[in-house]
Amino acid sequence: MKFNWKIVCTGFAAAILLTACGTDNADQNEAQTDEPGQVVDETNGSSTDGTSTDAGSGSTNNSAGESAANMADAVLTESDAQSYAMEVLPGYTLTSEEPGRDSLFADENPEAFMRIETQPAEEGAYDYFTENMQEVLKAASNGAEPEELTDVYTDVEDKGIKNAKAFKVDTETGPVTGVVFEKDDMVVRLTLFDNPDEEYKTDFLNMGQTIQ
């Protein structure tokens, strides 16, 4: 909200004039000014402390409430080839790529997609997915060592996700992020192929955690 200097200056001038005339009118002063540090929003009567609350900032670091709201329009969708279902947001399409491997595409940019692979939570499945994922990322980045991420699925116990590990590499077309976790009786591997701005990462991860 822009600070209305005209209103403030008018208030100060009125206060000085009233003092000079010996008039003590508290109601008039209150009509001209608010509490210190606050400005009245003339459109709705609310006040703010001057900090910006622009909801359209475009940040991908959504709070839990914003993430929940973001997923409100998602539709539970079953995989055609694997034994899982997931909530899919409008603007994305889940399709089978090959046996044991699905792809979730961004409709507006099919080059941005998340590959989804699942296996029963049997002995060795988690370790295989984790080790193989790092090899896949190395190959995608021409041998660069993947960077381990510590901010992916760190507070999702209520979603049933356990032992989440995530790695990332940069490629010529954009970052590639790999995530492995256990949920229910499955081991899940997600591979995110994003654009350089990571425009789709938040949506992909929000949908990925709904796999069931």
In the chain, what are the domains?
A: 5-48 (no CATH), 69-208 (3.40.1000.10)
pLDDT tens figures, 143-178: 999 999 999 999 888 889 999 999 999 999 999 999
Range 71-86 burial, b when 16+ CB lie within 10 A, else e: beebeebebeebebeb
Q: Are 122 and 114 in contact (CB under 8 A)?
A: no
Residues 176, 187: Cα–Cα separation, whole Å: 20
What pLDDT is recorded for position 83?
A: 93
Higher local confidence (pLDDT), 6 or 206: 206
Q: What are phi and psi of 136, to 5 degrees?
A: -65, -40
Higher local confidence (pLDDT), 139 or 99: 139
Band the pLDDT of 86: cuts 50, 70, 90.
very high
What is the reported pTM?
0.69
Mean pLDDT score of the chain, rounded to an integer?
A: 77
CA atoms within 13 A on the CB side of 130: 12
Residue of 197, 179, 198, 199 lying closest to 189 (CA atoms): 179
Which residue is it, tokens 């490629």?
171
How many other C-beta atoms lie within 10 A of the C-beta of residue 34?
Answer: 14
What pLDDT is recorded for position 68?
A: 62
Query: Which residues on adjacent β-strands are paired with residue 181?
Result: 188
Residues 111, 172: Cα–Cα separation, whole Å: 13
Residues 205, 25: Cα–Cα separation, whole Å: 60
Higher local confidence (pLDDT), 188 or 8: 188
Percent of the chain with pLDDT over 90: 63
pLDDT tens figures, 21-55: 344 444 444 444 444 444 334 334 433 343 333 33
What pLDDT is recorded for position 66?
A: 54
Q: Are 81 and 95 in contact (CB under 8 A)?
A: no
pLDDT tens figures, 184-205: 999 999 999 999 999 999 999 9
Which residue is it, tokens 């997600």?
190
What pLDDT is recorded for position 69?
A: 63
When mean pLDDT is compared across 33-42, 93-102, 124-133, the lowest value belongs to 33-42
What pLDDT is recorded for position 124?
A: 94
Q: Are 208 and 188 in contact (CB under 8 A)?
A: yes
What pLDDT is recorded for position 134?
A: 95
When mean pLDDT is compared across 66-80, 127-141, 171-185, the lowest value belongs to 66-80
